[in-house]
Amino acid sequence: MFRVYKTPKPPPQPSAAQVLAGLIAQGATDLLGIPDNASAALFDLASSDHRVRCLTVTREGEAFAVAAGLWLGGRMPVVSIQCTGLMESGDAIRGTAVRMGVPVLCLVGYRGYAKMLRAGIDPGSVPADHGELQRHDVDSAAVHLLPTLGAWAIPYVFLDPEREAESIRAAWVRARTEERPVAILLTAPLAAD
């Protein structure tokens, strides 16, 4: 078992088991990426679940290329990374999942989300002042996330803590219908049980 870090007052999130069940119900075959605090319990669970194959990559951009290859070969992968890794993945997302039209679901750990809210910053806003990106009480990874997804034309949804299966289903329907990557944002760690 891996350690799962706990935030002091995490917003309610579904359990990793519920999310994994939701992914498998939609046909997920592989979970790729790098665990973060939000997804650690999911990787822990998936690594011992014979229904999905779990692969840890060395850098997040790889996950999208591997996912594209898996899809070419007939499988239905899910990528799970932190938002910092999503930003690192820019050209891999553009050149594989987007350019090839791969319907891949991407769980994104929204690092710094609660901190950003406490600082009074609207998650969807583009920083008007460069100083906002250097404030000690704000995680710039959070501030950059939604503007980055918007710039890269990646649709996203927040994981609904009370209807996680529907969140996953709706995101995957969109990914498949529009043949593109779709992100599901995790604003707090998934519960380990």
Partner 1 sequence: MLTTAQLLEPLAARRTDEVVVTTMSTVRPWGRYSNHAFDFASADSAMGHTADLALGIAMAQPGRTVICLNGDGSLLMSLGTLVTIVESGVTNLVLIVVDNGAFELTGGQPVAGAGRVRYGEVARACGFRRAYSCRTPQEYASALDQAFGQAGPTLVEGHVEPGEEGPISRGPAEEAAYLQTSLYDSARALREALGSPPGRGQGGMPDTRQPGR
Binding site for partner 1 (CB under 8 A): 26-27, 30, 53, 55-59, 61-62, 64-77, 91-96, 99-103, 172-173, 176-177, 179
Residue 34 or 190 having the CB closest to partner 1:
34
Residue 35 or 112 having the CB closest to partner 1:
35
Least distance (Å) between residue 29 CB and partner 1? 8
d(CA 121, CA 113): 10
- Going by C-alpha positions, the residue among 181, 182, 184 that lies closest to residue 95 is 181
Q: Residue 66: what are its φ and ψ, rounded to 5°?
A: -65, -40
Least distance (Å) between residue 37 CB and partner 1? 22
Residue 95 or 123 having the CB closest to partner 1:
95
Helix (H, G, I), strand (E, B) or coil at 73: coil
d(CA 186, CA 83): 10
Q: Which amino acid is at 24?
A: I
Least distance (Å) between residue 53 CB and partner 1? 7
Residue 21 or 76 having the CB closest to partner 1:
76
Least distance (Å) between residue 154 CB and partner 1? 15
Residue 45 or 93 having the CB closest to partner 1:
93
Least distance (Å) between residue 58 CB and partner 1? 3
- Count how many Cα atoms sit within 13 Å of the Cα of residue 49 in the half-sphere of its side chain: 20
d(CA 81, CA 93): 13
- Going by C-alpha positions, the residue among 174, 36, 9 that lies closest to residue 105 is 174
